[in-house]
Amino acid sequence: MDLEIKDKVALVTGGSKGIGLGIVRRLLAEGAKVANVNRSTAEGEALQEEYAAQGQDCFFIQGDLTDLNACEHAVDQARTKFGRIDMIVNNAGVNDGAGLEDGPEAFLLSLQRNLIHYYAMVHYALDDLKASRGCIINIGSKVCETGQGGTSGYAASKGGINGLTREWAIDLAPHGIRVNAVLPAETWTPLYEKCLAGADDPQAARAEIEAMIPLGRRFTTIEEMADMVVFLASPRSSHTTGQIVFVDGGYTHLDRRFTSTNETELNAK
């Protein structure tokens, strides 16, 4: 299927690793031009060089998005490079464990890491998005629905992302701008692999998590996340807006009698 995004310009935050990198690679595979905003210079420049060798644009913009000036600079740089912005993928963030005991300053910093720059990027690119009748994809997390414990800032940020997605879908519909959110749950990323590597038995820890994922008893892949994001960003989903889409193998919402039941027993019923 041609997703009809060839030569469209996407501004992606946190596009040098994990889910963000998967999104960048899928956009480029579909012929889009990408501006990738990331803190790590080495990773961003390496990705830019990789695609430049293939004749594709993966323009790296260095910036710490907790700084509002960096957000505005990133939008300006993307506009200067490509002359337009057709889509924004707000992806950058970190589950930083800012809990109730850590105090208001830690909570505020977590909001800056995970929520404030979502608003800032769209605010600074708003005229561009109106001109292109573009779209916004916000990457959230199942934590906003389920809670996790010990991560108040991250949970509040992800809940805020859902709220902004619905709010912006209303605000921007008259301009033809679509806004959707994509939420992962248990997605197999290098960071997740690194976290499980610290367990006494990493394979057993992984199997325990996978047993709770109804569809296929496996982690979601980065590629599956990216495919959903890029489809929603494309004209192929031209009448979809204000939606919060879980790509999680049924982990978040399906009945716990299923997720906690041995699959052999379940199939025998």
> Residue 175 to residues 20, 34, 123: CA-CA distances in angstroms?
27, 23, 14
Q: Which of 51, 118, 154, 251 is catalytic?
A: 154
> Residue 173 to residues 119, 129, 232, 239: CA-CA distances in angstroms?
17, 12, 15, 10
**Would you say how long the chain is, in residues?**
269
Pull the structure tokens for residue 40.
């790590």
Closest to 33 in 3D by CA, of 55, 62, 65: 55
Place of tokens 């644009």: 57
Closest to 85 in 3D by CA, of 38, 46, 121, 43: 121
Active site residue 154: yes
Give catalytic residues, as residue numbers. Answer: 154
